[in-house]
């Protein structure tokens, strides 16, 4: 568990920072009741995310993939932002253009809390994209019909989500590059740090001399690299820090 001294030190670092970038992962939403990907509760019918969140899995069995997304939509629809999401909104209000939030989460809880200076680099579960004409639209139906089709061209719709082996959107990559290169403090909250490109952000920030602080329930592959590793729940530690 994070000690008082660690928390005070982290607060002091934050108080003296000029530009802050924040990277969040499934751990911040775990405190709202959304299962993480690699935790024991992250499995669905014994599938790992790596087996189902791929373009190949969708090509092979779109029905199965849509069933997974319908299950997750149903679950996420019942969840609310928690004090960690709220604290990041306050930070944005205080810091304005000196902060940017990058999330790997697709649950939309940062948006629901009110974050605006935000990149959802892996997409959003409440958006769908046409596999033929590429049109992206917001869609909050639960469950979506299996299989959903595009109102414009009648081709199959897919979740507007970045799957393994797919590139992130150019615009997001550019923004991440810019905010990682320009920050002097990177706060990494609730991610296992194994999925690239986000897994490379902590070392990229260190390379340009930024200070990196991690908040996580457990130690991660990045804990030895960061300047300060605070162990505990995001919903307790993030409000204390900010
Ligand atoms: C708490 C807590 C509490 C719990 N409080 N903490 C370079 C090297 C090797 C491989 C690659 C590479 N570059 C690209 C790759 C391939 C691949 C990749 O990284 N594979 C790795 C597994 C090795 N990456 C990609 O394919 C990416 N595309 C790309 O880079 O394109 C170019 C390219 C392609 C191919 C080759 C080379 C280049 C795209 C990645 C898209 C990932 N999408 C997913 C699935 C979306 C499906 C969906 O959501 O519907 O996004 S994967 C899944 O993992 C999801 C998450 O956003 C992502 C990260 O997970 P996260 O958030 O870290 O969650 P967990 O569960 O892992 O961890 C939770 C953490 O919270 C834990 O640490 C807990 O301890 C903690 N925690 N409760 C605080 N209360
Ligand atoms: Zn279409």
What 3-state DSSP class applies to 135?
Answer: coil
Q: Which residues of the chain fall short of a pLDDT of 70?
A: none
pLDDT at 48: 83
The reply to whether ligand 1 has any atom less than 6 angstroms from the CB of 39 is yes
CB atoms < 10 A from the CB of 241, how many?
22
The atom number, within ligand 1, closest to the CA of 37 reads 66
The reply to whether ligand 1 has any atom less than 6 angstroms from the CB of 195 is yes
Structure tokens at 169: 């959107």
The reply to whether ligand 1 has any atom less than 6 angstroms from the CB of 220 is yes
Give yes or no for a cis peptide into 197 (omega within 30° of 0).
yes
**Substitution site in 196, 216, 218, 233 for ligand 1 pocket (most atoms within 8 Å of beta carbon):** 196
Exposed/middle/buried for residue 231 (C-beta within 10 Å: 0-12, 13-18, 19+): middle
pLDDT at 149: 97
Q: Nearest bound ligand to CA 196?
A: 1
Q: Against a cut of 0.75, is the pTM above it?
A: yes
pLDDT at 39: 81
The atom number, within ligand 1, closest to the CA of 39 reads 66
DSSP state of 149: B
**Substitution site in 22, 23, 25 for ligand 1 pocket (most atoms within 8 Å of beta carbon):** 25
pLDDT at 51: 86
Q: Which strands sit side by side in the sheet containing 99-103, from one edge to the other?
A: 118-120, 99-103, 20-24, 185-189, 211-216, 228-231
The atom number, within ligand 1, closest to the CA of 84 reads 5
Cβ–Cβ under 8 Å, residues 226 and 202: yes
**Substitution site in 26, 79, 104, 213 for ligand 1 pocket (most atoms within 8 Å of beta carbon):** 26
- Tell me which residue has tokens 């791929």: 54
pLDDT at 38: 87
pLDDT at 35: 93
- CA angle (10 as vertex; 8, 14 as ends), nearest 5: 115
pLDDT at 103: 98
Pairing relationship of beta strands 123-130 and 136-138 according to DSSP bridges: antiparallel
The reply to whether ligand 1 has any atom less than 6 angstroms from the CB of 233 is yes
Cβ–Cβ under 8 Å, residues 28 and 234: yes
Q: Of 218, 228, 162, which is closest to residue 190 (Cα–Cα)?
A: 218
In angstroms, the Cα distances linking 80 to 7, 49, 159, 179, 205 are 26, 23, 21, 27, 31
Q: What residues act catalytically? A: 122
Q: Nearest bound ligand to CA 132?
A: 2
DSSP H helices, the chain, are 4-15, 26-30, 49-52, 55-60, 62-76, 83-95, 109-113, 170-182, 201-207, 234-241
């Amino acid at each position: 568990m994070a000690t008082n001294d660690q928390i005070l030190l982290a607060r002091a670092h934050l108080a003296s920072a000029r530009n802050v970038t924040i990277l969040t992962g499934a751990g911040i939403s775990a405190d709202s009741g959304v299962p993480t990907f690699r935790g024991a509760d992250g499995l669905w019918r014994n599938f790992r995310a790596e087996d189902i969140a791929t373009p190949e899995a969708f090509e092979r069995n779109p029905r199965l993939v849509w069933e997974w997304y319908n299950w997750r939509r149903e679950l996420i629809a019942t969840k609310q932002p928690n004090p960690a999401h709220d604290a990041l909104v306050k930070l944005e209000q205080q810091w304005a253009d000196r902060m940017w939030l990058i999330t790997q989460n697709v649950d939309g809880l940062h948006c629901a809390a009110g974050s605006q200076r935000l990149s959802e680099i892996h997409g959003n579960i409440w958006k769908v994209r046409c596999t033929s004409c590429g049109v992206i639209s917001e869609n909050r139906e639960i469950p979506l019909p299996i299989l959903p089709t595009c109102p414009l061209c009648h081709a199959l719709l897919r979740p507007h989500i970045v799957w393994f082996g797919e590139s992130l959107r150019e615009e997001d990559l550019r923004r991440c590059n810019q905010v990682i290169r320009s920050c002097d403090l990177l706060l990494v909250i609730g991610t296992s740090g194994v999925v690239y490109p986000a897994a490379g952000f902590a070392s990229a920030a260190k390379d340009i001399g930024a200070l990196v602080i991690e908040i996580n329930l457990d130690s991660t592959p990045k804990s030895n690299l960061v300047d300060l590793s605070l162990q505990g729940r995001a919903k307790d530690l993030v409000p204390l820090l900010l």
